[in-house]
Amino acid sequence: MPHDALPLDPAMLPRSAGSAIMRGIRGMCPRCGGTHLFARGLKPVERCRMCGQNWTLHAADDFPPYIAILLTGHLMAPVIILLGKAEWIPEWAMMLIVLALAASLIAAILRPAKGGVIAMQWWLGMQGFAGHSGKVEAGVA
């Protein structure tokens, strides 16, 4: 078993990278989908309570913030353009609105992005998951 993970009914394993990543985005264990991936905030659980997968092996590093900034920038661009056209809004108010929206979006996107990155690394056998990829375990490699 990969990294002392518990034996798992093959039907519980994700069938594709997309389904593993979607489990991670939803904050669920990418391997079994049965319980939470995160202990608190952005910190993943050490081991899944249901399948025993070790989630400390990931190395998501700064990829989740990169995704959050990229998406936030693209979502905020039309908002900033619209606010810029509204001449009745003072610049200081526009800055407050933009900062609050951008900070909220980044905060909302960061955890799903990290879950997706961890799931992708597990599926592909990257970083600490080397030699124990999800796709090999699921039999789709």
Complex with Zn ion: residue 68 or 138, whichever CB lies closer: 138
CB 106 within 8 A of CB 7: no
Tokens, residue 85: 């056209």
Complex with Zn ion: residue 48 or 68, whichever CB lies closer: 48
Residue type, 21: I
The least distance separating Zn ion from the CB of residue 98, rounded to whole angstroms, comes to 39
b/e per residue, 8-43, with b = 16+ CB within 10 A?
Answer: beeeebbeebebbbbbbbebbbbbbbeebbbeeeee
The least distance separating Zn ion from the CB of residue 55, rounded to whole angstroms, comes to 9
The least distance separating Zn ion from the CB of residue 37, rounded to whole angstroms, comes to 8
Q: Closest Cα to residue 4, out of 44, 57, 53?
A: 53
Tokens, residue 40: 């608190």
Residues that bind Zn ion (CB under 5 A): 29, 31-32, 48, 50-51
DSSP state of 103: H
Complex with Zn ion: residue 31 or 114, whichever CB lies closer: 31
Complex with Zn ion: residue 43 or 99, whichever CB lies closer: 43
